[in-house]
A and B are shown apart, each in its own frame.
Chain A
Amino acid sequence: MLFKKNKIILFVLVAVIFIYVSYKNDSEIFNKKISHQKTNYALTSTSNPSEICKEYKATYPYLDKLKLEVPIQLRFENTHLKINNKIYRLRHFFKDGDEGEIETFLVYLEDQNEDAHIIEKSSYHKGKFYSDILKMENTIIYHEEGITLADNTIEPLFLHYINNNLIGTRGKKSSNSPDKEIDCRF
């Protein structure tokens, strides 16, 4: 009798676990769908850039080349590195202080879903891990930089690069230039 009861309980438990696992799988599928949809959120570029945008693209196509040619000011930099099968993201940018900018350095570690989790935050100076990572043997798998042409004005031309290629600009070559184009996405 007791054995029979146990059997029933076991059956119920197995059923509940089965339902739970199914739900979990459904959630995974749902999230995979979402994960797929995420790409739909992302950064679609305009298909038909104007003549001025084309000119910008032709003038500033590659970051490495630009750095050799003109002084620039870094606005942010994201570098994704593979080290011992782990992927770290280094972020260097500027927070807004009451009286000026606060140079900020972050280190993220990616999980298996490519979600990045902050593991070190540091203001004004690179954190220890941030500095150490740069010294480790690594493979750079992604590099993104936002820069301005360093003419020290309030409205300098902002250039956005991913893996050395220009993907967008904001502003004009100079504040006095007659053209009105200020937002190009490639």
Chain B
Amino acid sequence: MRLLLRLASIFLFLSTFNCFASVWDDNQLWSVQYEEDFSIWMNSNSVNETMFTDSKSPYFGISTDCADTAYALRAIFAFEHNLPFAISNPSGARGSNKTLNNRQNTWNNLPTNKQRLVAMINEIGDSVGTENLAYFDTFPIAINNIAPGSVFMYKIKARFGNFIRHTYNIKNINPVGTFDVIYSTQANKAKGLPLLRRKDREFENMPSEPWGFKKFRWPEQLGLSLADIPDELGPSLEQYTLAKQLGEVGFFKYVTKTLSKTSEPANQKMSRLFNSICVEAQARIEYVNQGLGHLLETKNACMNYEEFDAYSTPARDQMLKELFEKFQHAYLDAEADGELNSVAADIVEYSEVIFKHKSAAQKELLSVCPINYTNGKSISLSELWNRILLGTLSSHPNDTVGARWGESNSRLTKCKRWY
């Protein structure tokens, strides 16, 4: 009897393990129809900012930075539709495991396929960067093939020979040809924050191979030349040729024109850009405060390279400046075209406060978009633009809050600027 009980308990113990389990079993094949379904899914509420951070979400626990987010979304869709998922194996394609894929039993210590999916995605996140996505796992597409689920990836030169790369996941294309994007960043991942979303994003970094507008390769397409990707998926190098021919402004105008269903009236464009500036300017408060929080912890010690990398803001400050410039161009275009009458009066007034130093709506501008960067100190977008133009805004994370926000009487840090 004892023997029986022992055998029974051993069996029960063994049966709690799902030995040799793949992440999920796929029984479907990728097709053009599934690519369309992927687009619909990307555009749906299933893909949202809190899908990895809400404890009620089935995908709670996934932790992603920029490229990882693209991999994660693709893997989740494949999982939900019993499709295969495979990427070039980031640790090397030796032996039988040429790819990292859903059929692996690497995570079979985990009892459910959702847990194994989360583990697989997190391992991908640890193992890849945007370069893997660009060089191996995606292919460039024709402009008119850009759709929800496509990614836009860029690489730009930063200071001291440093490069910045980023990946945006296109969630939707707005009727006027701007992009609704969902994405993450390294800092976002480190803090465990929800995914970031910008519903009216324009891109400004020119595509150059292998960056730009791209789509995921199907598992069987990994390693294939562009010529071997089926035409119906839209493989194309045209964006690189067009970018060279048209220049940055012309290229993105072409993209907008190709993808838009309606042209964007001056009124709508100016409102959109004003809102974008407000969102990004207020987002800077948090970026700066993260650095200030770190300084509190380290008692104002000079930041080393890693810390500087995490808390400085030169690229983000540059992006904010570019957004102001776009808004200014839109205002000047509307003025030149005699369209200012069609633009909402308050937006025109705010533009004139910001770019022509008119004081009439100064208070309203401050109340509609206050940049409350520290207790008791709040500036308007007009004052912020002024400080950006004067070059007083500091991106150095060792600077005081006043210096970070360009207060004229602030002393600047003597700590090393790493780049």
Bound together, the chains give a CA A97 to CA B390 distance in angstroms of 27
Question: Nearest-CB distance from B199 to chain A (Å)?
Answer: 21
The residue that B126 contacts in the complex, of A45, A113, A121, with Cβ under 8 A, is A121
Bound-complex Cα distance A28 to B126 (A): 28
Determine the chain A residues whose CB is within 8 A of the CB of B228 once the complex forms: 46
| Contact partners of A180 in chain B: CB under 8 A | 237, 241
Q: Which residue of chain B has the shortest Cβ distance to A43 in the bound complex?
A: B223
- Shortest Cβ distance from A158 into B: residue: B135
In the complex, the answer to whether A38 meets B103 with C-beta atoms within 8 Å is yes
Scan A143-170; emit 1 where CB is below 8 A from any B CB, else 0: 0101000001011001010100000101
User: Contact at B106–A94, with CB atoms within 8 Å?
Assistant: no
Of A62-70, A75-83, A129-137, the one with at least 4 CB within 8 A of chain B = A75-83
Instruction: Indicate if B96 sits at the interface (CB-CB under 8 A).
Output: yes
Known: A100-B158, A144-B92, A154-B157. 15 other contacts (CB 8 A): A20-B15, A37-B103, A38-B97, A41-B99, A41-B220, A43-B93, A89-B91, A94-B129, A97-B309, A106-B91, A106-B127, A114-B95, A152-B161, A154-B156, A172-B209
- B185 cross-chain contacts in A, Cβ below 8 A: 98
Least distance between B309 CB and chain A CB atoms (Å): 5
Kindly list chain B residues whose C-beta atoms are within 8 Å of the C-beta of A155.
Answer: 208-209
Per the bound structure, the CA–CA distance linking A41 and B313 in Å amounts to 41
- Provided the pairs A27-B19, A96-B186, A116-B97 are in contact, do residues A42 and B222 lie with their beta carbons within 8 angstroms? yes
Given known pairs A20-B11, A95-B65, the reply for A41 and B225 (CB within 8 Å) is no
Give me 28 A-to-B residue pairs in the complex whose CB atoms sit less than 8 angstroms apart, sorted by A's number. A13-B4, A16-B11, A20-B15, A31-B105, A34-B22, A37-B103, A41-B99, A42-B223, A43-B88, A44-B224, A91-B92, A91-B127, A94-B129, A98-B185, A98-B313, A99-B312, A99-B314, A99-B316, A100-B164, A101-B164, A114-B96, A115-B105, A152-B161, A154-B157, A168-B223, A170-B135, A175-B208, A182-B209
Interface centre among A37, A78, A100, A175 (most CB of B within 10 A): A100
List of B residues within 8 angstroms of A13 by Cβ? 4, 7-8, 11
Interface membership of chain B positions 221-251, coded 1 if the CB is closer than 8 angstroms to chain A and 0 otherwise: 0111111100000000100110000000000
- B306 near A124 (CB under 8 angstroms)? yes
Q: How far is the CA of A155 from the CA of B24 in the complex (A)?
A: 38
B224 touches A27 (CB 8 A): no
Tell whether, in the assembled complex, residue B209 and residue A10 are in contact, meaning their CB atoms are under 8 Å apart: no
Does the CB pair B99–A142 fall under 8 Å? Answer: no
A-contact 0/1 string along B301-318, CB 8 Å cutoff: 000011001101111100
Interface positions of B from 86 to 135, Cβ below 8 Å from A? 86, 88, 90-99, 101, 103-106, 123, 126-132, 135
Q: Is A52 an interface residue (CB 8 A)?
A: no
Question: Taking the nearest CB of chain A, how far is it from the CB of B339, in angstroms?
Answer: 36
Q: Say yes or no: is A86 at the interface (Cβ < 8 Å to chain B).
A: no
Cβ–Cβ < 8 Å partners of A171 in chain B:
209-210
Closest approach, in angstroms, between the C-beta of A140 and any C-beta of chain B?
A: 11
Separation of A142 and B130 alpha carbons in the complex (Å)? 24
Q: Is A85 an interface residue (CB 8 A)?
A: no
| Residues of B participating in the A interface, judged by any CB pair closer than 8 Å | 1, 4, 7-8, 11, 14-15, 19-22, 65-67, 84, 86, 88, 90-99, 101, 103-106, 123, 126-132, 135, 155-158, 161-167, 185-187, 208-210, 219-220, 222-228, 237, 240-241, 305-306, 309-310, 312-316, 419
**Chain A, Cβ-Cβ closest to B244:** A175
Residues of chain B contacted by A101 (CB below 8 angstroms) = 162-165
Q: Quick one: which of A20, A44, A98 contacts B316, CB cutoff 8 A?
A: A98
Q: Is A102 within 8 A of B186, CB to CB? A: yes
CB <8 Å contact, A10 and B4: yes
Would you call B210 and A158 a contact (CB within 8 A)?
yes
A40 contacts B by Cβ under 8 Å = yes
**In-complex Cβ contact of B309 among A42, A99, A108 (8 A):** A99
Is A117 on the interface with B (CB-CB < 8 A)?
yes
Query: Considering only CB atoms, which chain A residue lies closest to B205 in the complex?
Result: A154
**Contacts A96-B66, A171-B209, A182-B237 given; does A91 touch B91 at CB 8 Å:** yes
Kindly state the separation between the CA atoms of A152 and B419 in the bound complex, as whole angstroms.
16
> What residues on A are CB-neighbors of B314 within 8 Å?
99
The answer to whether A113 touches B225 (Cβ under 8 A) is no
Shortest distance from the beta carbon of A31 to any chain B beta carbon, whole Å: 5
A44 touches B309 (CB 8 A): no
How far, in angstroms, from A106 to B132 measured CA to CA in the complex?
15
